[in-house]
Chain A
Amino acid sequence: MLPAGVRRLFRLPTSPKRVAREVDDELRFHLDEKTEALVRTGWEPAAARAEAERQFGDVRRARETLVRLGTALAERRTRAEWWEGALADLKTALRGMMRSPGVTATVVVMLGLGIGGAAAMYGLLDRLLLRVGPGIEAPGELRRLYINSYNRLEGIRASTPWLDAEQIVGLQKAWGLPVASAASWTAGLGGPAGERIPIAMVSGSYFAVLGARPARGRRLATVDDQAGAAPAAVISYGLWRRAFAGDRSALGRTLIVDSLHLTIVGVAAPGFSGLSPDRVDAWVPMQVAGPALIGNGLNWNQSLAGFDAVVRLTGASRPEQLSSEAWGVYRSHRTAGELILTSDIGGPGDSAISAQLAPVNPGARPGALSDTVRLSLIVGGLALMLCLIAVANATNLLLLRAVRRRRETAVRLALGVSRGRLVRLGLIESMIVALGGAGAAMLFATWSGVVLQKLIVRQEWQRGIVDARVLAVATVIGLLIGVVTGLVPGWQASRPEAIAALKSGARSEGAPSRLRSGLVALQAALTLLLLVGSALYLRSFLHARDVDFVVAADHLVSVDLERAAGRPDARGVSTDVVQQIAADVRRVPGVAAIARATIAPIYGMGGSPLRIEGVASFAVGMHGPFYSEVDSAFFGVAGLPLRRGRGFTQADVSAAAPVAIVNDAFAQRFWPGQNAIGKCLYIAWSGAADASACRQVVGVVSHYRLRVDDDEPSLSYYVPLGDRWNDGTRALVVRTSAPAQDVEGGIARVVRARLPDAAPEAVMALSDITSSELDPWRSGTTLFALFAGLAVILATGGLYAVVAFSVAQRRREMAIRVAIGAPAKELARLVLRMALRPVTLGLLIGLGLALWLVRFIAPLLFHTTARDPVALGAAVAALFVAAGLACIGPAASAIGADPREALQAE
């Protein structure tokens, strides 16, 4: 290949037209010379010409050949030259980047953070709102049954009905259509690992209705879902790979879940998890698995009410008719008492009003959005904002660099480098940045997918939030944005006005350009939004944390002996075993004290028929009154201090005079302004000798709240617990000296040693319950704080870049100011003013937006008004502090400007 220099030297043709002209010139010269030579030897001119052409051969053919050769050569040269130029540009771009590695790295990181975060959020929203999971045929035809219920607080609300197996059978009969139903369950997987896996009990037509095709084997069919059918199961693709190493021979082998031996008949398609994204490892027919897993002693098909109902609409089916039939089935299986009881308790009672069929895709779910979806929407919005901030910053930094290089660009233009070539240089630079940004975006998207799963979804999904598709989207968007952000500065720098920069010595332009200021203002506005969100959530979290449960939950472990005994149909644990367990638990390191009760505080609540002295009637509501039997150690162990009177003694159990203890809230509600001690309660519990006997109140203890967002504490009354427990509900309440979570495991081990069937939730640190109640605010705060922190860092960096650049441009002016004796304070103020103008503008916009947008998170806050002045003030203050920090460096540089140095530099 000829180097470009040689081409210019010889002025070789590039266009096909020029090629043809040059060939013509060359041939004409040859024929003219030849003719003249012949004429000189005595030929007639006309004859000489003819002889010259004869000697040449076929002139027309020769010309065609030469033109073809020349054109091909020219094309090859142009291509080579383009590549050569691109390579040179690449080298120039890399050199330029190496000169300011900080800027390049920052831009790459910003793009990665912004786009990666946005992509992960897209993945989450896609799964939560937009799309039904994979492997389902024509999801648009599927309809899910919803029950509309009325609720005083929220109005009419549609919810998935919790149907039992009997109702599913009833529905199938009423509709005359196959119904897809599933209920999730956790079961122990047989084998050495003994892990517990999520499974789904499904109707026989489940796979057929969803149109799900298995990856291997067959799907479950109606014949599998009949009492007495051979036990069959379809396992998930994930379990197949994990437990069977993807071996084809897994089909026909036995899957053991709990006590159930199932033959594996199929492997579901990769990623298939039915209509919900939650992880499922195996699908088992409900008529076969139900009796075995739940226990035949109980009426299993009425006690497991966890099924949904999904039907495929065909052309002939009429949704209204199906709804009304479903409503009939739903009602007929609900006892009248159940419906009345719930609406009667005085709290925000529910009473179902109708059924409806709605599309299954998550976005079409009728009624209000769930908290998860709402939080995801908010965080999605935030991620998008962060993406905008990052992109604005990246553009700003690249713009600044382009301006800094204006002299260089002007020299290039003056040397005759074409504008297209300059844009290409910009494009190559931005491609490098974009590739880096896309890579960083992939990394960050993967990471934030894991974080979002933990913080928002809080359970495992069949497929992670960030899959190959999301990563591909992130990469493409990263590339696009990278190219665009790179092109804007490149275009700006190549404007003809740039020539002027040569003459002015690049020292004009005192104020930052409007575009740059605008970007800074935008960042300030978005950052303020995120700060306001964090502040509001933090306030909510602090309020929620300060809620006084009174019960010292971080040092209490509940041992639910009913659950520990295994299946609920077991007749309970003998008193001997309970005493042995109590003795074992007492020996576990970290256990301080132990008490017995019918139920542990916070963990649950009990009830009994009750009449209260001096109270004509009362309704049992969400806050009680709740009934417990407790031993003499209970109040001390649970940390419920005695307010008045006395606690229980060992003598109370057998004493002739029955006694009771109530809590503060109980006393205030029923006997306001009176002394509760000495009042009578009449309790008709099964062990009571005489329900009409007065049970005298001997003490008043502190109350506690059952749930963090309860507005009022629960009402409780307690009676002494006898040695012989005659009812299945019973618990050990254990007080620990170390944090409850650390001791929980040790206690669970000794319980399991005596009762191997113990359910995992039988031993539970109460702090798990109280702390999970704080989760919405904790994760909201974490999310907002995470994004706000990132936004502050990004925006501070961006502002610093703009201010530092402006100061550098006005260095001469600063030096002159120093020379004529401007005090440092004056210069610092000058720099600060440069920063504050765009920041204040952004602040005003952000504040306006925040006041308008908070309505969307208002329902998720706890005891915090959405326009909480403290939160707003804190956010504004934080923004100004960030702006101040961004100014420190540039201000110091302005104050330190040396007049001599600055003037000599020009």
Chain B
Amino acid sequence: MATDLDLLRGTLDMLVLKALLWGPRHGYAVTEWIHQTSKDELAVEDGALYGALHRLAARGFLAAEWGLSEHNRKAKYYSLTAKGRRELRAREVTWARYARAVDRIVSTA
């Protein structure tokens, strides 16, 4: 269902953008951060996160650059662009409103 998929994708995108809020990270670090922060409660495959990373980069929300990892490996680092920051803020607001609405409905006994 398209709406479900859109919702899921939108959520993924927001997670990825959020992961980069505190500075550039490579893809592995982004996936690790999401798994750890969510305490692995979101069963998201790493491949899907990479898809989100690339999509966001193509839309100009992220900039990508090759660099060296902590273990001196060649790694592709992503960082938020100004546009990406604005996008993240907008999505957080929408998400909060959405979550509250759903919560209100669900908690009405």
Q: Which chain A residues have a beta carbon within 8 Å of chain B's beta carbons? A: 1-2, 6, 9-12, 22, 25-27, 29-30, 32-34, 36-37, 55-59, 61-62, 65-66, 69-70, 72-73
Contacts and interface: CB of A to CB of B under 8 A. Distances in A.
Given A6-B63, A32-B73, A62-B50, A73 B58 contact: yes
Contacts of B60: 1-2
25 contacts: A2-B60, A10-B63, A10-B65, A22-B66, A25-B74, A26-B27, A26-B50, A26-B76, A27-B50, A29-B28, A29-B74, A30-B27, A30-B50, A33-B28, A33-B69, A36-B71, A55-B46, A56-B45, A57-B45, A62-B48, A66-B50, A66-B54, A69-B54, A69-B55, A73-B58
B54 A30 contact: no
B26 A58 contact: no
Interface in B9-47: 26-28, 31-32, 45-47
A276 B57 CA distance: 70
Nearest to B27: A30
B28 A59 contact: no
A22 B53 CA distance: 14
Contacts of B47: 56-59, 61-62
A824 to B, nearest CB: 67
B63 A70 contact: no
A783 B51 CA distance: 74
Interface size class of B (residues with CB under 8 A): 20 to 34
B75 A69 contact: no
Contacts of A61: 47
B83 to A, nearest CB: 11
Contacts of A69: 51, 54-55, 58
B12 to A, nearest CB: 13
Given A10-B63, A30-B31, A55-B46, 17 more contacts: A9-B65, A10-B65, A26-B27, A26-B75, A29-B26, A29-B28, A30-B50, A33-B28, A34-B46, A37-B32, A62-B51, A66-B50, A69-B51, A69-B58, A70-B54, A73-B57, A73-B58
A30 B46 contact: yes
Nearest to A29: B75
B58 A72 contact: yes
Contacts of A29: 26-28, 69, 73-76
A136 B66 CA distance: 73
A742 B51 CA distance: 92
B46 A11 contact: no
A55 B45 contact: yes
Contacts, number: 71
Contacts of B51: 62, 65-66, 69
B105 to A, nearest CB: 32
A12 B58 contact: no
Interface string B59-91: 010011110010101111000000000000000
A442 B57 CA distance: 50
B55 A25 contact: no
Contacts of B75: 26, 29
A66 B57 CA distance: 11
B16 to A, nearest CB: 14
* Most chain B Cβ neighbours within 10 Å, of A22, A27, A57: A57
A9 B96 CA distance: 37
A25 B64 CA distance: 14
Nearest to A65: B51
Give the 9 A-B residue pairs with the shortest CB-CB distance, closest first.
Answer: A57-B45, A62-B47, A57-B47, A56-B46, A33-B28, A73-B58, A30-B28, A69-B54, A10-B65
Nearest to A58: B47
A876 to B, nearest CB: 70
Nearest to B73: A29
Contacts of A55: 45-46
Contact of B46 (A22, A57, A70): A57
A622 B54 CA distance: 98
A12 B27 CA distance: 16
Contacts of A11: 66
B8 to A, nearest CB: 14
Nearest to B26: A29
B17 to A, nearest CB: 17
A10 B69 contact: no
Contacts of B65: 9-10
Contacts of A27: 50
Nearest to B32: A37
B93 to A, nearest CB: 27
Nearest to B74: A25
Contacts of B74: 25, 29
Given A10-B64, A72-B58, A73-B58, A57 B76 contact: no
A12 B64 contact: yes
A500 B85 CA distance: 50
A168 to B, nearest CB: 81
B69 A22 contact: no
A34 B47 CA distance: 13
Contacts of A12: 64
A25 B54 contact: no
Nearest to B66: A11
A474 B41 CA distance: 73
A26 B49 CA distance: 13
Contacts of A59: 47
B20 to A, nearest CB: 15
A36 B70 CA distance: 13
Contacts of A57: 45-48
Nearest to A68: B54
B58 to A, nearest CB: 4
Nearest to B43: A55
Nearest to B31: A30
A582 to B, nearest CB: 97
A29 B73 CA distance: 8
A593 B65 CA distance: 104
A12 B58 CA distance: 11
